[in-house]
Chain A
Amino acid sequence: MSTRHLMAVEFFKLRKRMMTWVVTLLTVGLIVLLYSVLWSISGRAGSFRDDQGFRIAYSELRRGLFLEAGVPFALQIVATFGTLLAIILAAGAAGSEYAWGTVRLMATASSGRLRLITARFIVVWCIIAGLTVLAVVIAMGYSAVITEYYGGATFDFMTAGWFKDQGLALGRTLFVMTPYIALAFAAAVVGRSTLAGVGAGLGVAFLEPLISGLMRIGGGRWEQVPNYLISANRNVVLIQNKLPRGLPTFGPSARDLQERGSNSVEEASVILALYIVAFLALAFVVYRRRDITSGTNA
């Protein structure tokens, strides 16, 4: 039995699960809601200060909603809010097996625990990647409507270079989400519950930026610690997606990162990759070696 075979099983289970569809609906709803709100605001006359302190005309915000900027903004939304949904999805996929007792069922029906958990993680990650692409498609659709409303959509910008940039942006977004997905997955396996995965994932997603902020305020030897944590490095990588001026970044600006003395993109990528490897290694080792004492059928 190959890992690919087990991936089909995991995909079947997640496809039939309500949670997957709820997360899909929330992702679509989030994109539609944010675009609607921003479109509504962008109709105003005058200007506003953005989160970097620059004065931005509302018309400029409107342009940011046009088709050309649809991909980076959709990815920004996914990276910020979608990460939270991804954490829930990953923790649910790994943790529910313990609550239902099906961990034993799958462990004895499959051809190896390592293959099983590998298949499970790959499928969860692929579904999250699929949802990210769906979010981009929805955003592009909405952007096309907005662009058409204000005088007609053109596709001149869709050059090879544009496609390359969007592909890289998609890759960066999925990459910065993966440490959180891997953390939630590992915590659910180690804690043998969905709650452990959700708690660890959301806890780190929400608390780490706050604690990092306090460390920077504290200064001294604490000041550099955030550079080795997830959120600071996530921001460094994500800022490369080049969001148009005026659109909310939901995070620190490039200037903020520069002032903080953040890592280079390369350094940040290596640190995030190390987190991914560490979390997955923990999940795989624990799942493979630990006794399965709960659950029932084989």
Chain B
Amino acid sequence: MAAGDEILRTEGLWKRYGRITAVADMHLQVFAGEVFSFLGPNGSGKSTTVGMLLGLIRPTAGRAIVFGSDMAMHPWPALRRIGAVIESPAFYPYLSGYDNLRVIAMALGDVPRARIDEMLELVGLRERGRDPYKNYSLGMKQRLGIASTLLRDPELIILDEPTNGLDPAGTREVRELIPRLAREGRSVFLCSHLLHEVQAVSDRVAIVKRGRLVAQGTVRDLLGAGQHLRLRADDNEALVRALGSVPFVAAAERVDGYVRAQVPAERAAELNRALVAQGVFVSELRPWDNDLESVFLELTGEELHA
């Protein structure tokens, strides 16, 4: 797969449980080599969607196509190219971390034993690899989960809240690992509630609310980067009125003591001149730095929790 090739696509994906609609008309697209983040509040259908992407849950309607395979009909060729940790890690409690990875390696069939040690080393579990999984802390379980996804050397990695239970150092390691995986040519499908982390590592983002896709695009597009200016004047009310008469200002509104104007950032000087001409002098004029959290809140009207 060349970078930029489509590797995952959902076509009008629906999942209903009786009268409850978990996922509605979901259209997603993920391309090779990108970090794609899938965001949504609790119960918004993220895990159900991931279940359908892995062929574990049958869609009520629509299709999930991954690496060209319809995951409801014939998921196995694609599954060999996917590694995933969904919700929270689960392994055989009576087996050691090493033996749990060995079970997966045996099931996959073509994973050399040396790779198990390699993966344990990668996630910092080499020393505790022979301990029973039931004695692992949540952070160690999470790291074993990540090791299990990498065991098969996947082209697509699906991570659902991969930093859950990790200490700050572990969280940082995972945050660093995600772009590294992408640099190695893998695609990452990331479900996370840590929006500032998502913003830092993602190429594209999809936001879901109550099973419906409310936005999908590049992080830059979603944040509206370069499309808004932050202004402040002694009289913000007068400033908003003045902005309303400037032809290239699409919209203006008061936000927390500032005025946000929808206008290309490169026209800031031109805007200032137009305001001065109307006798309005601004004390502050700079690009509006949006963040994913505020975009998310704006689109879903909900706080995001794990």
Segment at the interface with A among B31-39, B85-93, B171-179, B208-216: B85-93
Q: Is B195 an interface residue (CB 8 A)?
A: no
Q: Is A293 an interface residue (CB 8 A)?
A: yes
- A-side contacts of B158, CB under 8 Å: 298
Q: Is B82 an interface residue (CB 8 A)?
A: yes
- A-side contacts of B109, CB under 8 Å: 1, 5
CA distance in complex: A5, B106 (Å): 7
Q: In the complex, which range does the number of interface residues on chain A fall in?
A: 20 to 34
Of chain A, the residue at the smallest CB distance from B22 is A293
- B-side contacts of A38, CB under 8 Å: none
Segment at the interface with A among B53-61, B217-225, B264-272: B53-61
Of chain B, the residue at the smallest CB distance from A107 is B56
1/0 per residue B97-117: CB within 8 Å of A?
001001110111100000000
From the candidates B86, B93, B102, name the one contacting A104 in the complex (CB within 8 A): B86
CA distance in complex: A116, B83 (Å): 19
CA distance in complex: A225, B145 (Å): 52
Shortest CB distance B91–A (Å) = 6
Given A101-B90, A298-B86: A13 in contact with B148 (beta carbons within 8 A): no
Q: Do B103 and A292 have beta carbons less than 8 Å apart?
A: no
From the candidates B51, B85, B93, B95, name the one contacting A297 in the complex (CB within 8 A): B85
Of chain A, the residue at the smallest CB distance from B47 is A293
Of chain A, the residue at the smallest CB distance from B50 is A298
Specify which of A9, A16, A293, A297 lies most central, judged by the most chain B CB atoms within 10 Å of its CB.
A297
Q: Which parts of A1-44 form the interface with B (CB within 8 Å)?
A: 1, 5-6, 8-9, 12-13, 16-18
Of chain A, the residue at the smallest CB distance from B96 is A16
Q: Which parts of A78-127 form the interface with B (CB within 8 Å)?
A: 100-102, 104-112
Q: Do A18 and B84 have beta carbons less than 8 Å apart?
A: no
Q: Do B85 and A292 have beta carbons less than 8 Å apart?
A: no
Q: Do B94 and A17 have beta carbons less than 8 Å apart?
A: yes
Q: Is A259 an interface residue (CB 8 A)?
A: no
Specify which of B83, B87, B92, B158 lies most central, judged by the most chain A CB atoms within 10 Å of its CB.
B92
Q: Do B86 and A292 have beta carbons less than 8 Å apart?
A: no
From the candidates B57, B92, B103, B149, name the one contacting A293 in the complex (CB within 8 A): B57
- A-side contacts of B48, CB under 8 Å: 293
Q: Is B76 an interface residue (CB 8 A)?
A: yes
Q: Do B95 and A298 have beta carbons less than 8 Å apart?
A: no
- A-side contacts of B89, CB under 8 Å: 296-297
Q: Do A9 and B90 have beta carbons less than 8 Å apart?
A: no
Number of chain B residues close to chain A: CB under 8 A: 35
CA distance in complex: A230, B194 (Å): 57
Shortest CB distance A113–B (Å) = 9
Q: Do B51 and A291 have beta carbons less than 8 Å apart?
A: yes
- B-side contacts of A16, CB under 8 Å: 92, 94-95, 99
Q: Is A199 an interface residue (CB 8 A)?
A: no
- B-side contacts of A105, CB under 8 Å: 90-91, 104, 148
1/0 per residue B252-283: CB within 8 Å of A?
00000000000000000000000000000000
Of chain A, the residue at the smallest CB distance from B51 is A293
- A-side contacts of B99, CB under 8 Å: 12, 16
Shortest CB distance A278–B (Å) = 24
- A-side contacts of B87, CB under 8 Å: 296
- B-side contacts of A6, CB under 8 Å: 107
- B-side contacts of A292, CB under 8 Å: 51, 56-57
Given A104-B56, A293-B51, A297-B148: A109 in contact with B104 (beta carbons within 8 A): yes
Q: Do A9 and B56 have beta carbons less than 8 Å apart?
A: no
Q: Do A110 and B107 have beta carbons less than 8 Å apart?
A: yes
1/0 per residue A269-295: CB within 8 Å of B?
000000000000000000001011101
Q: Which parts of A150-204 form the interface with B (CB within 8 Å)?
A: none
CA distance in complex: A218, B90 (Å): 51
Of chain A, the residue at the smallest CB distance from B160 is A296
Q: Do B108 and A104 have beta carbons less than 8 Å apart?
A: no
User: Could you pull out 20 A-B pairs where Cβ atoms are within 8 angstroms?
Assistant: A1-B108, A9-B103, A12-B103, A13-B95, A17-B94, A18-B94, A104-B56, A105-B91, A107-B56, A108-B79, A108-B82, A109-B103, A109-B108, A293-B51, A293-B57, A296-B85, A296-B89, A296-B90, A297-B90, A298-B79
A16-B92, A102-B92, A296-B145 given; 19 more Cβ-contact pairs under 8 Å: A12-B102, A13-B92, A13-B103, A16-B99, A18-B94, A100-B92, A105-B90, A107-B56, A109-B108, A111-B76, A112-B76, A291-B56, A292-B57, A297-B84, A297-B85, A298-B54, A298-B83, A298-B86, A298-B158
The 10 closest A-B pairs by CB, nearest first: A101-B90, A296-B90, A298-B84, A109-B107, A292-B56, A291-B57, A9-B106, A1-B109, A110-B107, A9-B107
